[in-house]
Amino acid sequence: MYSSPELHAMSREDLSGTTLLVVSPGQCIEASGDVPAFLSKVTSAKKRVLASVGPAGSVWYTRRLRKGITFDAVLDLGFASQSDKHSTVSDVPYFFVFNGPTRDEEPLAKVPTRVQDRSIPWVLAGPKNDRNRHLLAELFEHGVDTRGVCLLQGAMSSKATAGTLLGSDGLLRVLSKARFCLWGADRDIAYYESFRFIDALPAGAVPCKIDPELAAEEPGIPGVYHTVPDFQAEVRDKGYSAMYRRAMEFYTAGGRLADGLSRALRLV
Amino acid sequence: MSEAEINRKEFAVLADPSLSDLYNESKEENGATIFIPNWNHRPYLPRSVRSAFLAIKCLEEAGYSGELLVIDDASRDGSQKFLRTVKALYGDARLETVFLERNLGLPRLRNLAMRMSRYRHVCMLDADNELAADNLPLFLQSIVQTGAALAHGLLLDKREGRMTGIRSDDVASMRLTAGNYIDAFALVDAKKLLRIGGYLADPRLPHEDWEMVLHLIAEEEQVLFVPAVMGFYHLTPGSMYAETAQVKGLRPRSAAPEVKTLLRRMFAQTGTREWDTIRVGRIYHPAVGYID
């Protein structure tokens, strides 16, 4: 992993045999100190690949592709391919990589811990936006167990806010005592945030997204619901343990992230 | 409480302006007093009182005990009649009522409640708001386990039956010197708050709850955020919120400039602390411990 000044310091010879996997093009360019020289160095690399973990086709996504770096490919890490959405905004070759388990997460518990040991019925996680606020209200309006925990994070960029609500392991510690991890849509565009699933499941909390637009697209990911009553119905009918097993099967069946990345990079 | 006891208390209030006869110096630790200050909120009292009774039941189920204390601040809308009826109907309920002849105002009422409370921990529930009854044991557990002076949780705004927003949903930081985001609807340690002087009854500072949080921070007392829903904040025409909005601006953070100036003079003299994102509050949940 290199910062942009470190990359800038590398020789053109070294770069000429290197494939660059760029995570944040805007930040890299901004932090480089000398934009034209930095972009020139980036151009001298063998290949430039954008690593994306977000909704394809969004303004944010398009902006990253047009920051000044000419990409040879996009690797989209997630749980469902977005090639159709990508093709509407870019001609850059697109590769979907299943955001599967990493070595750090193994061994993953195939069987959930006892539900009695999980005294927090649910955790609402995500950004402090109107959708998540609305979701919290809906949970109460539909009479879910009121003893849930709400960990909505304020905007991190504003100087006037306290930044993130929790420390690095705070959310994981709460999730390790919770049955379900709930969240709503982060943005206007239908998208499944695989990183929230990855936070929740290894901690033993079943990931559940309530997002009518995404549910309408039937993404083939377990735990996506149109409404709060749909979520409640599944909890009632299947229960925590069965929902956990189903999520775990989905996660492990997609293969390890490292394998997926290797395959994709060979194709680039 | 017997009829004679009620009369004695009412008499004491009416006859003794110092109210000191009502004080309860030895506080019990194993429960909570839910305090409802009331001034002409008769239409809303059934909702707040009902939620308080439910919360006491939840406290008892969790191994604690509780009482409801309602102090009527010289209402003219017949609130007293309603409260006497409730007391008569629910003879066994842990309900204490006090009817003041002279209006004291909210800060003094809160201080009186903290002096009167049977329990060390007092939940400040406005007469037009509603407790999330199931969660009061969670807040009590949190404040007892941490020794915090104040524990607050999320409040869901409700307008015409629909939930419209969230407040009190962030941990205390020095941003509080720029604007308040922690409502008075919270669980407090009466002993600690009284020890540092109680709520300030100063006409120049109508935001006694805001001043109290800043005062607690200045006194290095712990202000605890429990990330669960404490209750519902009802936004209804003529409710306490509407009155507050009229007197204090739409939200406390949009307080009158002279109020902000005074609070900054007290708690942020250098004029820089409002930009200081250092947390002074902690986040806690009994199932996990400190989360931050």
Cβ contacts (< 8 Å) between B289 and chain A: which residues? 173
Cα–Cα distance, A52 to A92 (Å, whole number): 13
CATH (domain of A158): 3.40.50
| End residue of a domain, out of A41, A67, A98 | A98
In this structure, CATH architecture of domain B3-290: Alpha-Beta Complex (3.90)
Examine the pLDDT at B160 and tell me if it is beyond 70.
Answer: yes
Q: Kindly provide the ipTM of the predicted complex, given to two decimals.
A: 0.85
pLDDT in tens, B210-236: 999 999 998 999 999 999 999 999 987
Examine the pLDDT at B2 and tell me if it is beyond 70.
Answer: no
Which residues touch B275 (CB under 8 Å, ≥6 apart)? A159, A160, B174
Q: Is A80 within a domain?
A: yes
Rounded to two decimals, what is the model's pTM?
0.87
Helix, strand, or coil (residue A132): helix
Contact predicate A56/A77, CB 8 Å: no
Q: Is A38 within a domain?
A: yes
Which range marks the domain in which residue A182 is found?
A: 115-253
**Angle between helices B136-146 and B45-61 in degrees, nearest 10:** 60
**Residue in B135, B283, B287 nearest the CB of A165:** B283
Q: Are residue A233 and residue A175 in the same domain, yes or no?
A: yes
Q: Are residue A88 and residue A145 in the same domain, yes or no?
A: no
Phi/psi of residue B99, nearest 5 degrees: -115, 110
Contact predicate B95/B67, CB 8 Å: yes
- Average pLDDT (B151-179) is 88
Q: Are residue A33 and residue A130 in the same domain, yes or no?
A: no
Would you write out chain A's pLDDT as a tens digit for each of its 268 residues? 888 788 878 888 888 888 899 988 888 888 888 888 888 888 988 999 999 999 998 888 999 898 889 999 999 999 999 999 999 999 999 999 999 999 888 777 777 778 888 999 999 999 888 889 999 999 999 999 999 999 988 754 433 333 456 666 889 999 999 999 999 998 888 999 999 999 999 999 999 999 999 999 999 999 999 999 999 999 999 999 999 999 999 999 999 999 999 999 888 8
Pairing of strands B162-167, B119-124: unpaired
| End residue of a domain, out of A98, A126, A146 | A98
* Integer CA distances (angstroms), A39 to A5, A8, A30, A122, in order: 12, 9, 11, 46
Examine the pLDDT at B274 and tell me if it is beyond 90.
Answer: no
Cβ contacts (< 8 Å) between B178 and chain A: which residues? 160
Q: Is A264 within a domain?
A: no
pLDDT of residue B67: 96
pLDDT > 70: percent of chain B: 85
Cα–Cα distance, B9 to B19 (Å, whole number): 10
Examine the pLDDT at B15 and tell me if it is beyond 90.
Answer: no
Check CB contact under 8 Å for B156 and A136: yes
Cα–Cα distance, A98 to A53 (Å, whole number): 11
Tokens of B60: 């008892």
Q: Quote the number of domains for chain A.
A: 2
Q: Where are the domains of chain B?
A: 3-290
Q: Are residue A159 and residue A246 in the same domain, yes or no?
A: yes
**Angle between helices B106-116 and B208-218 in degrees, nearest 10:** 60
Q: Are residue A247 and residue A127 in the same domain, yes or no?
A: yes
Bridge partners (DSSP) listed for residue B38: B72
pLDDT of residue A92: 94
B277 falls in which pLDDT band (50, 70, 90)? low
Q: Are residue A248 and residue A149 in the same domain, yes or no?
A: yes
pLDDT in tens, A199-234: 999 999 999 999 999 999 999 999 999 999 999 999
- Average pLDDT (B52-70) is 97
**By the CB < 8 Å criterion, does B154 face chain A?**
yes
Mean pLDDT for chain B? 86
Contact predicate B130/B155, CB 8 Å: no
Q: Are residue A134 and residue A62 in the same domain, yes or no?
A: no
Mutate to test the interface with A, among B285, B290, B292 (most CBs of A within 10 A): B285
pLDDT in tens, B112-139: 999 999 999 999 999 999 999 999 999 9
Cα–Cα distance, B199 to B180 (Å, whole number): 15
**By the CB < 8 Å criterion, does B277 face chain A?**
yes
Distance from CA of B140 to the nearest CA of A (A): 13
Check CB contact under 8 Å for A159 and B164: no
Tokens of A24: 């944040």
pLDDT > 90: percent of chain B: 60
Q: Are residue A88 and residue A120 in the same domain, yes or no?
A: no
| End residue of a domain, out of A34, A68, A98 | A98
